[in-house]
Structure 1
Amino acid sequence: GGGERPGIGDAGGTQGAADRCAPSRTLSPGAQYEGVGITSLLSRGHAVVVTDYEGLGTPGTHTYMVREAQAHAVLDAVRAAAQVSGSGVTSTAPVALAGYSQGGGAAAAAAELASDYAPELDLKGAYVGAPPADLVQVADRIDGGLYAAFLLYAMAGQLAAYDVDPATHLNETGLTALAGAAETCVAGSRAYAHLDSATLTHPGQDFPELVRSDAELAGILAEQRIGAPGRRPDVPVMIAHSVTDDVIPYRTGRDLGRRWCAEGARVRFDPLLTPTHVGGHVAALPRMGAFLDATLADRWTADSCGWF
């Protein structure tokens, strides 16, 4: 069609913690597991801008699951692309955000902050897949399970962002695990599967217990909650979440949608029946594409508020 080529700020899912895991390092050799989703957006005629996030592929610790840092990374990537000749993105082009899992949280947070942080962007909508909007709920789900390494990524990212010495909370075993996980990508994270986090902390509490009982950590995690009172997107949003998600609880995504609705946001909520976290991502791709096409073209999108 006519007009400027739309841009998509793509927020990647969990890549790992090592610099070599960054999308800028994995896209070219075809090692990026989210390549199918990115390709689907390109095939629809959109320019896609993928962020590495803070500290992933660059110096410093990856600020994994830090709400503002991830949101800023997504929005800054779109801003930067508009300054690059040949990127396909202009400063006045219509823009949407998209992400699943870690990326769902990043896209959600970016949608909340965009009107204040990047008001110059012509933001039209956001796709938010399986958002980790409440990190305590996610910790309850994955602690001691197949994805236990993600808790190490989150612990490292949160402590680094808030300048907290890990030794304050972790024993020698915990510090060793934290350092080891920092060198892994998501494929290598299985080395920490079923890790008992209670063996890593000074008080012998598992991570979910620790972040509830320690006032400093509880405060840090409260800062990461998406959909807090007074925060909502100013553009239409689609949330998709599998009812059998084995990583991020279904209620975490559903409740985010409800909180946004209560704040007056326009939310389409799609419950998915495809099993598992990964299955939900694949199942949502066609819906994501259709929703983003509609929002970028200023077409009507469904509002599910009051129905989920």
Structure 2
Amino acid sequence: MSIFTPRSVVATSALTAALLALAPAAATADEHDIPGTAGAATLTGTPEPPRPAFYDPPAEIPTTPGTIIRQEKADNVLDPLDVTSASFDARRVMYASQDREGRPIAVTGFVVSPRATWLGKGPRPIISFSVGTQGMGDSCAPSRQLRDFTEYEILAFKGLLLRGYAVALTDYEGLGTPGSHTYMVRAAQGQAVLDMARAAQRVGVRGLSAANPIGLMGYSQGGGGAAAAAELASSYAPELDIKGTAVGAVPADLSSAVPRKLDGSLYSAFELYAIVGLFQGYHVDPAAFLNARGLAVLPKVEQSCTQKLADLAFVRTSTLTKDGRPMHDSFAEEPLRSILTDNRIGNRKPSSPVLLTHSMADDVIPFSVGKQLAKDWCAKDATVWFQPLVTPTHVGGALPTATYAGTFFEARFRGDKATGNCAVR
């Protein structure tokens, strides 16, 4: 199933052709180089640590997105002693999705649903929850971290469960499964979020079926994943009944302000994650741009988790490149510039009403990026409520976003007419 229109097929073909000269020799020749498939290699070819057998994809992956490949009981999701399993049905799942080029991949995640009868209007809502930056290593996958009780996103989605919603949370392409995680690749992230919703409807949890309404939610990387899903839904998953999308601190445009903010900062790991993710997703050979030091640091990036953010802090990419320029300078030129253009969020109209938040003092993704996204969506006649936040810092905007999202979803699932504030932007 292709998500591309005829015009975008031409653009994507041109981008692919432009990148061929930069691609490693085997990047497109061997199906095992596709993250999320059996035996996939990482961008650097560095062997990955052993993973639990559940996370190894089968040799043949179903071609119908959202198909359940396997599932198991997920313990320790809400408490270390698993006491709350009496109140919630939690499943770890592997399901079929697609990479940005439409090739079948396996993605892992989990589904959690209250056991109590849903008393609201219609069937129980499902929130397809797109997680914020976890890192790049397989051990960073949220479905694995939940078992170890180290997943910070529990602070946001636990409130959704207490409202009676089911929550479906994706690990994204290559996070947990073989190959490098395609961090910041718009199509791969958005499709994983939509196929996670499809998988939740098919997992066999009591009360979940194709009749359940869907909400999309995420913050930071998760905001990008959910926003991309909202833009792709009408063409990629038109059968899903998506009532609303709540996103915050969306990294909608990586072309200038975001990398300049990250380079050499406490959060420089995020820029390094994006380099690996985008190079992996677009078959770019790192040796075309990075010097020996840069190539040596990439295996460390591939195994990094955000709990050890300091290990990659304050890195200036100019020290890693062959020409001594920061990587955002190379991404401002072809052929890498087309990659950022392809991953810009805001070029498509979201399929549902949107709540968009952004801290005015965000120290990772500048407020101007969120404000521009609101303008872009408003220009396409989308129903958008843009909510600036006064809570400082990137991390500080997360919990207020979750609070606003709870109120937003209550109204959407009641069937209230959505209102926007585009007229006052």
Provide the TM-score with structure 2 as the length reference: 0.70
Tell me the secondary structure at the aligned position of residue 270 of structure 1: strand
Q: Give the equivalent residue in structure 2 for 1:180.
A: 300
| 2:382 is equivalent to residue 265 of structure 1 | yes
Structure 1: where are the runs of 5+ without partners?
none
| 2:54 is equivalent to residue 54 of structure 1 | no
Deviation at 1:287, TM superposition (A): 0.8
CA distance in 2, matches of 1:88, 1:241: 34
Contact 1:10 1:74 in 2 (8 A): yes
Q: Which of the numbers 167, 191, 198 marks the counterpart of 2:318?
A: 198
Q: Which of the numbers 148, 156, 161 marks the counterpart of 1:29?
A: 148
Alignment of 1:295-306 (within 5 A): 295-306=412-423
Contact 1:239 1:257 in 2 (8 A): yes
Q: Which of the numbers 100, 104, 109 marks the counterpart of 2:223?
A: 104
Tell me the secondary structure at the aligned position of residue 282 of structure 1: helix
Q: Give the equivalent residue in structure 2 for 1:244.
A: 361
* Highest RCO, 1 vs 2 (Cα 8 Å, sep ≥ 6): 1
CA distance in 2, matches of 1:174, 1:189: 18
Structure 2: where are the runs of 5+ without partners?
1-119
Runs of 4+ aligned residues of structure 1 deviating over 2 Å after TM superposition are: none
| 2:125 is equivalent to residue 6 of structure 1 | yes
Alignment of 1:73-222 (within 5 A): 73-86=192-205, 88-136=207-255, 137-213=257-333, 215-222=334-341
CA distance in 2, matches of 1:221, 1:177: 23
The one-letter code matched in structure 2 to 1:270 is: Q
Deviation at 1:71, TM superposition (A): 0.2
Q: Which of the numbers 356, 377, 400 marks the counterpart of 1:283?
A: 400
CA distance in 1, matches of 2:295, 2:208: 43
Higher percent of residues as helix: 1
| Larger gyration radius, structure 1 or structure 2 | 2
Contact 2:121 2:414 in 1 (8 A): no
Contact 1:101 1:131 in 2 (8 A): yes
Deviation at 1:2, TM superposition (A): 4.0
CA distance in 2, matches of 1:301, 1:116: 22
Q: How many residues align?
A: 305
CA distance in 1, matches of 2:300, 2:327: 17
- Residues 48-74 of structure 1, C-alpha deviations (whole Å, 9 max, x = no match): 000000000001110000000000000
Q: Give the equivalent residue in structure 1 for 2:159.
A: 40
Question: Among the aligned pairs, what percent are the same residue?
Answer: 49
The one-letter code matched in structure 1 to 2:302 is: A
Provide the TM-score with structure 1 as the length reference: 0.97
Deviation at 1:87, TM superposition (A): 6.3
